[in-house]
Structure 1
Amino acid sequence: MLSTAEDLGRLVKKERKALGLTQAELALTSGTGLRFISDLENGKPTCQIGKTLTVLKTLGIRLMTSSPDSPGVG
């Protein structure tokens, strides 16, 4: 379960490395910048959500959500 920006950053870094990608390669394939990838992997809490979702999709990471009133939506 992810509960912090740092948790998400660690996940992104782990998946990027598992795919054998450099930060620069991930930035290029996701249409973001190298600085953004670095900030995201380092858990910067103010990273833009739209770009973050794009990076997750590029890495094949599915984001699942849930609320107290309903089962997981994804």
Structure 2
Amino acid sequence: MELKIKSVQQLGQLSRAVRKSQGLDQTTAAIFSGSAKNFVSQFENGKSSVEIGRVFDLLENLGVELSVNVSVPIDPENKEKLLKSLDKLGFDV
């Protein structure tokens, strides 16, 4: 299922919904992701200063995969530059 996330708060709410659907409490989710319960609570409540690496760890352990939709330039030259840069960084383009 693909969802458009517009804020940290929405991402935290999504995390909470997925966690609850799996029957996990915050403490258990925190243990699985190597975080503290306090971190899970702050993230689920939309705190914007949470550590992004820990967010990825938590979401991965909940089975949530993130992707980014990048607008590709219309100009063929700029499009090619972007695609080459992304390829060098290891992205499948």
Provide TM-score, normalisation by structure 1.
Answer: 0.91
Q: Deviation digits for residues 14-44 of structure 1, max 9, x if unmatched?
A: 0000000000000011100111000000010
CA distance in 1, matches of 2:72, 2:47: 29
Richer in strand (by share): 1
TM-score, normalising length: structure 2: 0.73
Alignment match, 2:54: 51
The residue type equivalent to 1:30 in the other structure is S
Deviation at 1:54, TM superposition (A): 0.3
Matched, 1:62 2:65: yes
- Tell me the number of residue pairs that the alignment of Structure 1 and Structure 2 aligns: 72
User: Structure 2 regions of 5+ residues with no counterpart?
Assistant: 74-90
- Find the structure with the greater CA-based Rg: 2
Q: CA RMSD in A?
A: 1.6
CA distance in 1, matches of 2:12, 2:51: 13
Identity of aligned residues (%): 32
Aligned to 2:14: 11
Cα distance in 1 for residues equivalent to 2:25 and 2:16: 10
**5+ residue gaps in structure 1?**
none
